[in-house]
Structure 1
Amino acid sequence: MVIPVLLVVASLVVLYFGADFLVKGSSSLAVRFGISPLVVGLTVVAFGTSAPELLVSVQSALESNPGIAVGNVMGSNIFNVCAILGVSAMIYPLRVNPRLIRLDAPVMLVATLLFVGIFHNGSFGRWAGILFFAGICAYMVYCVYKAKRGESVEGDEEIKLTKSWMLDVVLVIAGFALLVWGSGLLVDNAVIIAQALGWSEAVIGLTIVAAGTSMPELATSVVAALKKRTDIAIGNVIGSNIFNLLAVLGLTATIAPVETNQINWTDMLVMLGTSLLLLPFMRTGFKIGRGEGVVLFVIYIAYTLYLIV
């Protein structure tokens, strides 16, 4: 038991440096190519840090562990909104770009509603997966299209350039590699610890695995908040939630349709409720303040205690 705990601690260190490299490289690249940090946070950073969710969910579905496959995505989205945004907002109030309210947050909410509507009977089939995966492709195309048109994005922040674009690329690649490796190290050992405690597959998926695969998002957003790059901090979370639902679940169900009765209405309503709660928080003064961050974090603690108890 001692070795898995030490490896979990080591994985957190790896994730921190991976996130730091990723934020530096992607932010610098955004400026060099005329793309706003917000768009980078919603696409490159968000999707790169969601790679562990994709790997874990696909592998779980193929190995006939549907509770972990779906619980990983749902738990990650709850963790992203409540824990990551909560902690990030407590570190530094998150300024909300109007684009997030106009487009990205509504896309996340619609995807969440669609998932709850389709998965209410515990089944997420191949056609649903294809529909969701087509949705992420359409979203990506739209983001790139708007970026190429030079969309004006209010509130972009000053980003310090590195010495060269080649160094940017090296930082991004190294960051991705460290994030994926660190997440795998964390999840493997966290699952060992959870199984030793006698937790069920669904609880493992909704808590340990979900939090473990979301560590890249946590590290990335916290580092971005510390550097006061709030566009990346909040854009990373919303983009990751969109990716988790549309790409991770979509690709997972396309490869191996998911059926499980271990996910209940409480879990789905918590995910939907926190997504809904985020909208008024974002609209209030166009920022998520420290008080709202505390509320989000308390919700996550309460939900986790509910799952464990």
Structure 2
Amino acid sequence: MACCACAGPGGGDEGRAPGAPTGVTAEAGSATSVHVMWNAVPAVSGYEVYRGPTKVADVPASAHMLDVTRLAPSTTYVFTVRARDAEGRLGPRSPRVRATTPAAVAADRTAPTRPGGTVGRAAGSRAAQLSWSASTDDREVVSYDVYQGGTKIHSVGGDQTATVVTGLRPGTRYSFTVRARDAADNLSPAGAPVRLTTAAGADEGQDTAPAEFRVTARRADGAYYLDLAWVPPRVDGVVTEYQIQVDGRPATSLVWGGTPPRDRASYSFYVGQDTGAGHRVRLRARLPDGTWGAFSAERTVTTGTGRG
């Protein structure tokens, strides 16, 4: 279910603790590690990551991921994240997420094969799309680690061979590599590097825009409502917030509670009682790195006439 508010979930208002991080995910990286990710909270100084009731790490504001290590195989863990502002105020815990580590493999010293066929392209000025062919292992590939230069920036499950990296800078050259990991924490050699340059200037990156956006006007109980439908942008993480703009002005923010939709999203809101009123509507997503993505295509709709 979605809830609507005029202000986003951000943090750091003067005198107020930051909000709870959204889009928290946890994925087993090996038999003894779990990769935890969350959406960035604006205007904070850092994050605290918890395993159950125990804090396991402090994370700087510039990061929104952590590898939790020294875990037990074949065990389910619960993780939460809290944001902290510059005054030291801690926000509430995020929703809990669970991850189960796979069983340990005795005497496994064989690393997976190198990921092959790595390709990538810039998606506008702030994102890059990467894909690769699956590695093989004598037991099982549990995860893939994505590196920017020599720094690990993300991890995805062993059944996933593509991702989108966001939070990049316009007009900047990047190099990415991918390594496979098995349950015993054996790492493959890095796949061939992918070098790309993001678009220059103020390009927002159209691949970060919601796709297939449609608007329909509907009359109910003597008033008109706009029914919106779209496909969320395919980004690296979970999109939990959208800004809806009507007639060139922000109309409302939409914040998803529970599990946000990944394949098709919809939302309805009240626009008044006047028949024949025309409106221009578009929306954009707040990306997992805390920045706004590109706007969707703008649609026009007139109350009393149906589709936009």
TM-score (norm: length of structure 2): 0.23
Q: Name the structure with the higher strand share.
A: 2
Higher alpha-carbon Rg: 2
Larger RCO: Structure 1 or Structure 2 (Cα < 8 Å, ≥ 6 residues apart)?
Answer: 1
TM-score (norm: length of structure 1): 0.23
Q: Name the structure with the higher helix share.
A: 1
